[in-house]
Amino acid sequence: MKTPVQFRLNGEEVAAFAESGANLLDVLRESVGDLSVKGGCWQGTCGTCTVLVDGAPRLSCITLAESCAGKSIETAGGLRRGAELHPLQSAFMERFAAQCGYCTPGMLMAAKALLDRNPNPSREEVVDAICGNICRCTGYEPIIAAVLDAARGDSRRRA
């Protein structure tokens, strides 16, 4: 049984017919076609699928898609403005904060959720902000450094 779901994705209105009970991750990837969101566990334990729903970080794999009707969703695919990268994206590049890159979209959104609410976080606050996102490659330090750089405005926007 399919249910219509309509919401704003990265500023644009989108609509899809979702299988009843479907999670937001699968709807974004399979129905809407936003492949920037990645899935790691479908259990709500790894954080890879993190998106923002009305500014709050959410695990899209355990979010009921139809509960997002009318809401504003942000994903990593919507971070850059044309050729201009978001400061977090530039900072991640400069700090080598990605290796395999699979956790990166979720990390970026978790970091954005922090900086949107707290533009000047301490290191502890950055650690707490990403503590729900597992990275198997970097050991987290480059990611923490990148988020702090972005907060300090240390990284220039560039394509």
C-alpha 55/C-alpha 71 separation (Å) is 10
DSSP assigned state of 67: G
**Residues at the site binding other proteins, with contacts judged by CB under 8 A:** 1, 3, 19-21, 23, 30, 33, 35-48, 50, 53, 56-59, 61-64, 66-67, 75-77, 79-80, 85, 88-89, 92-93, 96, 98-105, 108, 110, 113-114, 127-137
For residues 55 and 153, which CB has a smaller minimum distance to other proteins in the complex? 55
With tokens 């080598």, the residue in question is 96
Toward other proteins, which CB reaches closer, 96 or 152?
Answer: 96
Please say which residue, 59 or 148, places its beta carbon nearer to other proteins. 59
In the block, residue with structure tokens 């998106």: 51
Cβ within 8 Å of residue 94, ≥6 positions away: 146, 149, 155
How far, in Å, CA of 148 to CA of 132, rounded? 18
Of 104 and 148, the one with the shorter C-beta distance to other proteins is 104
| Angle at alpha carbon of residue 37, lines to 13 and 51, rounded to 5° | 70
Q: State in angstroms the smallest separation of the CB of 13 from other proteins.
A: 20
Least separation in angstroms between CB 53 and other proteins: 8
Least Å from the CB of residue 133 to other proteins:
7
Min dist. Cβ of residue 12 to other proteins (A): 16
Quick one: 15 or 69, whose CB is closer to other proteins?
69
State in angstroms the smallest separation of the CB of 152 from other proteins. 18
The conformation of residue 77, written as its DSSP 8-state character, comes to: G
Q: How far apart are CA 37 and CA 26, in angstroms?
A: 9
